[in-house]
Amino acid sequence: MTTDQSQKLFEEAQQLFPGGVNSPVRAFRSVGGSPLFFAKGSGAQVWDADGNSYIDYVGSWGAALLGHAHPSAVAAVQAAVTLGFGFGAPHAIESQLAQLVQQCFPALEKMRFVSSGTEATMSALRVARGFTKRDKIIKFAGCYHGHADALLVKAGSGAATFGTPDSLGVPADFAQHTLVARYNHLQSVEALFDAHPNAIAAVIIEPVVGNMGVVPPQRGFLNQLQELCRAKGALLIIDEVMTGFRLARGGATELFGLAPDLVCLGKVVGGGLPVGVYGGRKEIMEQISPLGGVYQAGTLSGNPIAMAAGLATLKELMQPGFYPSLQEKTAYFTEAFRSLLSAKGLPWQLQTTGSMWTLFFTETPVVDWESAAKSNTSAFGRFFHAALEKGISLPPSQFESAFISFRHEKADFYKTLNVFDAIL
Please give the residue ranges that form the binding site for ligand PMP (CB under 6 A). 61, 116-118, 121, 144-146, 157, 206, 210-211, 239, 241-242, 266
Asked whether 183 and 141 are in contact (CB, 8 A), the reply is yes
CB of 276 to ligand PMP, least distance (A): 6
- Tell me whether residue 126 or residue 232 sits nearer to ligand PMP (CB atom): 126
CB atoms within 10 A of CB 178: 20
Smallest gap from Cβ 241 to ligand PMP, in A, equals 3
Give SS3 for 342: helix
Catalytic residue among 48, 139, 183, 239: 239
Catalytic residue among 267, 323, 368, 412: 267
**Is 279 in a helix, a strand, or coil?**
strand
**How far is CA 56 from each of CA 24, 53, 79, rounded to the nearest angstrom?**
19, 9, 27
Nearest to 216 by CA among 191, 243, 244, 198: 243
| CA atoms of 123 and 129, how far apart (whole Å) | 10
Cβ-based nearer residue to ligand PMP, 66 or 424: 66
Respond yes or no: is residue 232 known to be catalytic: no
Q: Is 408 helix (H, G, I), strand (E, B) or coil?
A: coil
* Smaller CB separation from ligand PMP, 132 or 397: 397
374 is catalytic: no
Q: Which is nearer to ligand PMP, 206 or 368 (by Cβ)?
A: 206
Report the phi/psi class of residue 36: left, alpha or beta, with left for phi > 0 and alpha for psi in -120 to 50. Answer: beta
Minimum distance of ligand PMP from residue 111's CB (angstroms): 16
Q: From the candidates 48, 136, 139, 144, which is the catalytic residue?
A: 144
Q: Does residue 261 carry a catalytic annotation?
A: no
Shortest gap between Cβ of 151 and ligand PMP (angstroms)?
8
Give 37's DSSP letter.
P
Which residues, other chains included, contact 349 with Cβ-Cβ below 8 Å and sequence gap of 6+? 359, 360, 362, 363, 364, 365, 366
> How big is the chain by its Cα radius of gyration, in Å?
21
- The answer to whether the CB of 373 falls within 8 A of the CB of 398 is no
Q: How far is the CB of 218 from ligand PMP (least distance, A)?
A: 19
Q: Closest approach of Cβ 244 to ligand PMP, in Å?
A: 9
Q: Which is nearer to ligand PMP, 160 or 392 (CB)?
A: 160
DSSP 107-128: T-SEEEEESSHHHHHHHHHHHH
Closer CB to ligand PMP, 23 or 176, in the complex: 23
42 SS3 class: strand
Catalytic (active-site) positions: 144, 239, 267
